[in-house]
Every structure is written in C-alpha cells, then in structure tokens.
Chain A
Amino acid sequence: GQQLNQSPQSMFIQEGEDVSMNCTSSSIFNTWLWYKQDPGEGPVLLIALYKAGELTSNGRLTAQFGITRKDSFLNISASIPSDVGIYFCAGQLVQGAQKLVFGQGTRLTINP
C-alpha cells in the first residue's frame, strides 16, 4: 500500500524549545492533514492543508503543504507540557476515493 514516511519517530526536548517534524512520500497528495493523539484518545485534527505551497498556522503550530505535493512539515514553537503526545501526518491521495494514508507518528516527550 501507499506509505508516508514520517520523521523523526520520537523527540525528547526541553520545555520552550521549537519542534519540527515532516512527512514525505513518493505519491502525490490532494490534501495533507496533521493530527495529535493523546493517550487513550483518538487523533484530533490540528491543521488541514489543501493547496501546494500553502502555509497555515494554528496558534503555535505551523504546517506547510510541499510544492511537489509529496511532502509536508509541522512546526511547534515554544513547546509546553500539553504538547506531549503522538503527532500523525495524513494525506489524501490524488486518485481513488477516500484513501487517507497515515504516517507512522512522531512521539513527542517534553522535559520540564
């Protein structure tokens, strides 16, 4: 099946640091989405990107839809303890019906 390569797999940072993670694929996507999952809960949508080159912010979060439509990144500025969790990228392929493909996730741990 289609794959999204998400990196890094895990991050250990100090509170207040900035965070950057990305997803790449060999396939072209119509949509890129970024989700966050807290323990014991389902993923929650953070940012949705619909156009190549689009740069969107949501508070301290910024995400971009790559120009080639094969990649996306998510940045978190000035991290706080509640940013802890697993972050997933997801992409909707150009072809076919709803085939939302997920990355493997980035587990973020913050040391206070």
Chain B
Amino acid sequence: NAGVTQTPKFQVLKTGQSMTLQCAQDMNHEYMSWYRQDPGMGLRLIHYSVGAGITDQGEVPNGYNVSRSTTEDFPLRLLSAAPSQTSVYFCASSWDFNSPLHFGNGTRLTVT
C-alpha cells in the first residue's frame, strides 16, 4: 500500500520555467490537497479538491494551477516559476474533508 506518492523528490528550476509536481494516492480518497512548507510558517494550503472534477483555492493559490481528472491524481502546476516559490511542497489526501489528512513525503523545489 503506497499511500500518497509524490514525484519528483527534488527539483531545481530557473525563474520563468514551468513544471508539474505529481501526486497520486491509492486509498480511493475523495479529498486531496496541496500545501507548501516554509521555515517558521507551518503548512499553508495552496489548492484542494473534494472529488474528481472539483477544485478550489486555498490560502496561497497565486502562481499555481491544479486539476483533478481522476480520483487518484492531483497534479500541481507552476506556470512561471519565481524564487518566492522555493519551498517544500506536500500533497495530502483523506476520505473526506472531515477526516485526518495522509501526507506524501514532499517535493523540495528550488527556484533560482
């Protein structure tokens, strides 16, 4: 049982480049979300989805896009990377929005 799988684990981008952070879960969870973790700031919600085809913005959505075409996958897209997006990104899932989250192991992104 893999749980929540994130790829890649590490990524370095130049300012202006685009990329997609992948997230997949094999627990048939309806709810999925993306957080970023910065020193001293805890985890901040970027985007979330309550089911396939449904997404919504979290606390810090600017500069990021998401889509949810299947229950299993919830990719996070950076359209034009900026140094302020240097962070560790975590994907999480749960049965529904009332259930505790299960986290992936994170993607460490550096934008130069």
User: Interface of A with B (CB < 8 Å)?
Assistant: 1, 4, 6, 9, 31, 33, 35, 40-45, 48, 88, 90, 92, 97-100, 102-105
- Nearest B residue to A38 via CB reads B105
Instruction: Give the B interface residue count (CB, 8 A).
Output: 26
A-B contact count (CB 8 A): 58
B33 touches A40 (CB 8 A): no
Q: How far is the CB of B107 from chain A (nearest CB, A)?
A: 10
Instruction: Find out whether the CB atom of B31 lies under 8 angstroms from the CB atom of A33.
Output: no
* B19 interface residue (CB < 8 Å to A): no
Q: In the complex, how many angstroms separate the beta carbon of A100 from the nearest chain B beta carbon?
A: 7
Q: How distant is the Cα of A48 from the Cα of B31 in the complex, in angstroms?
A: 17
B residues in contact with A40, CB < 8 Å: 105-106
